[in-house]
Amino acid sequence: MQYNKLAKKYGTPLYVYDFNHITNQFNQLKEAFKARKSLVCYAVKANSNLSVLKHLKELGAGCDCVSIGEVKRALYVGVAKYKIIFSGVGKRDDEIKIALQEDILMINLESEEEMERVELIAKELGLKARISIRVNPNIDAKTHPYISTGLHDNKFGVDIDSAKRMYIKAKNSNHLEPIGIHSHIGSQITELEPFRAAARVVSDLVRNLKSLNIDIKFFDVGGGVGIQYKDEKTLDLYDYSQAIFENLTGLDVTLTCEPGRFLVGNSGVFLTKVLYEKNNGKKRFIIVDGAMNDLGRPSLYGAYHKIEVIGRNEDLSKADVVGPVCESTDFFAKDRVLPLTKHDDLLVIKSAGAYGFTMSSNYNTRARVAEVAIKDGQDKLIRERDCFEDMIKEEAKCI
Ligand code: LLP
């Protein structure tokens, strides 16, 4: 890809996404699931750019949303209501109300109290709320503790016994209709066994519920399929689907999943330019124009992202790649072997399509960056860079 050309045309820092890569990832997943009815609900939080959502919608994806804002994004690009799931550990009344009025596929509940709120609001609206319950199967996903969600130490979902009690209550309610079951044990998972174990625990509950005449139609295994950032061995998708399917024998359910990173992570790169190099005798620093506010994964999780310096491969030595933000955690790499760089050299930070732009901020009154999509060899701006006026707009009104 002509990164230099794109950097010149759109400026840096810049996110660039390869939409053909997204298509391939989506098709691979659908292929792995083809033995069953399946619904792929893309986890919007990974990359919520409207053009990304529209592209995935055109491929047939639904959306997994964690705020009413994300639900509205999905609706805005025309994702079918019956393909939208609203999850999240703390939904506000107004969010629940809109989700019910919009008649989306289901609201995924994460506590008993939340179920009571949903029931109450559905009653006020004279509706019956389609729900699923997020089960916390108490399984170690063997991933970074900050992105692990399936243990009882984590705030997510409810334990099996509470879930069962909730399903029975929901079944007996005039305003709740239990149609789904959900679990999501964590993110960036590269081992099969945690997925298999979670599917076993959850499918046991589905069978148990069936014997109580509670008919679950959507079996949602969440997201979490890992990608290669460095040299991780990733899952074979066929093995992944089989690990789930082997637990579903005899159950007439639509396999639902919520991949985020798998679909978009390796479709994206972050382009940033070298401003300066400096060496204090002990350490070499490459100072670039991007920063932790643009791509926060290295500073938040110590995440590894490959870095390529376009057009240079000589005078290699270890360096920290750092941004201009006034924090010591503002780095993209530490002690990385990289060539000597010059002002205006371009760095490509790989695997930046997921949880990159969506977690960016205006910290230090830095403009959130522009985003570009490449599809069939054509580049297209899909988000303009913030300008100063955008950043102060809401405050300027109140001064
Ligand atoms: N479904 C639910 C309920 C989730 O909480 C998540 C991610 C997903 C699906 C999508 O997971 P994925 O397929 O992308 O692994 N900011 C972190 C990741 C946080 C993930 C939060 N939940 C990072 O940059 O690694």
Residue 259 Cα to ligand 1 middle (Å): 8
CA distance 373 to 189: 27
Nearest CA to 18 out of 57, 45, 51 is that of 51
Other CB atoms within 10 A of residue 47 CB: 29
Residues 6+ apart with CB under 8 A from 165: 112
Residue 180 Cα to ligand 1 middle (Å): 20
88 lines ligand 1 (CB under 6 A): no
Instruction: Convert the pLDDT of each residue in 9-59 to its tens digit.
Output: 999 999 999 999 999 999 999 999 999 999 999 999 999 999 999 999 999
Give the pLDDT score at 143.
72
297 lines ligand 1 (CB under 6 A): yes
Whole-angstrom CA distances from 290 to 106, 270, 321, 329 are 39, 9, 10, 13
Domains of the chain: 3-14+266-385 (2.40.37.10), 88-257 (3.20.20.10)
For residue 322, which phi and psi values (nearest 5 degrees)?
Answer: -130, 160
Residue 171 Cα to ligand 1 middle (Å): 30
89 lines ligand 1 (CB under 6 A): no
13 lines ligand 1 (CB under 6 A): no
* Burial label, 28 (beta-carbon count in 10 A; 0-12, 13-18, 19+): middle
Q: Indicate the top mutation candidate among 182, 258, 292, 359 to test ligand 1's pocket, ranked by most ligand atoms within 8 A of CB.
A: 258
CA distance 22 to 24: 5
Instruction: Convert the pLDDT of each residue in 233-263 to its tens digit.
Output: 999 999 999 999 999 999 999 999 999 999 9
Give the pLDDT score at 1.
57
CA distance 122 to 393: 37
At 102, which helix (H) or strand (E)? helix 93-102
Q: Which residues are designated catalytic? A: 326
Taking only the tens of pLDDT, the chain with its 399 residues reads 599 999 999 999 999 999 999 999 999 999 999 999 999 999 999 999 999 999 999 999 999 999 999 999 999 999 999 999 999 999 999 999 999 999 999 999 999 999 999 999 999 999 999 999 999 988 877 777 766 666 666 777 899 999 999 999 999 999 999 999 999 999 999 999 999 999 999 999 999 999 999 999 999 999 999 999 999 999 999 999 999 999 999 999 999 999 999 999 999 999 999 999 999 999 999 999 999 999 999 999 999 999 999 999 999 999 999 999 999 999 999 999 999 999 999 999 999 999 999 999 999 999 999 999 999 999 999 999 999 999 999 999 999
